[in-house]
Amino acid sequence: MKFEAIVDELKKETKDLEYWVNLIPKINLITDKKIVESLTKLAFILYIEDKVLEAKAITDKLSSIPFFNDYDYWTWIEFAISLKALIAKNEGQNQIFDESLEKINSALNHGEGLVKKVRLNVHQRFMAGEGVNIDELKNHNNLSLADDFDHRLIYLMKLIKIKVLGGSSEYPVSKALDEMIKNISAMKELLKDVSLNNVEPFHQNSP
């Protein structure tokens, strides 16, 4: 699948979705990796802005991308699939939820030997909460509001992934849900003072 085609297809979905996709600078859509990263971030922003239909349209497209054993791409696609699963669960679409989890688990269990073992160990540490925190924000006195939002966006992706995958004894679903609620509230407040042009994926980055 040509990833550029996904961008074009999304623009044709609805006028609202065309508007949002067109807000992403072209420089943030010049490589396959940037396309999946930018569209995934857009989907999550639309979700916290209560534009669930648009978020769902994006996650539907991204979740159709197969696993190429390349986590430069898959990390973002996995986050998109996690959001798709969350929306499906919220809407009572249990089959779509189960299919989404199966796609994530299938990629996790792909292959054999040391590579698979390392991948599963990394996943287990993630599910236990390793690297899933927002505390680093407190250590940056000069952190801009836009940077704060960008950090929280990645944090939200991780929380949703933990939630839909069922959490762990170290990081239960209840904790992930509490953090999701607090974080989404903080992000909504930030968007009252921060222009979308200054947050990812709308902020123009280097190639």
Q: Phi and psi (nearest 5°) for 165?
A: -85, 5
Q: Tally Cβ neighbours within 10 Å of residue 176.
A: 24
Band of pLDDT at residue 207, cut at 50, 70 and 90: very low
pTM for this structure? 0.93
Predicted local confidence at residue 141, as pLDDT: 61
Residue pLDDT, tens place only, 36-94: 999 999 999 999 999 999 999 999 999 999 998 888 889 999 999 999 999 999 999 99
CA distances from 114 to 51, 117, 127 (A): 42, 5, 20
The sign of the torsion formed by the CA atoms of 114, 105, 63, 110 equals positive
Average pLDDT, the chain: 91
- Average pLDDT score over residue span 1-26: 90
Which residue has better confidence, 66 or 137?
A: 66
- As a whole number of angstroms, the distance between CA 75 and CA 175 comes to 22
Is residue 206's pLDDT more than 60?
no
Band of pLDDT at residue 112, cut at 50, 70 and 90: confident
- Average pLDDT score over residue span 182-192: 94
Predicted local confidence at residue 115, as pLDDT: 82
- As a whole number of angstroms, the distance between CA 41 and CA 26 comes to 15
Predicted local confidence at residue 205, as pLDDT: 59
Is residue 143's pLDDT more than 50?
yes
Residue pLDDT, tens place only, 113-128: 888 888 899 999 999 9
- As a whole number of angstroms, the distance between CA 135 and CA 59 comes to 28
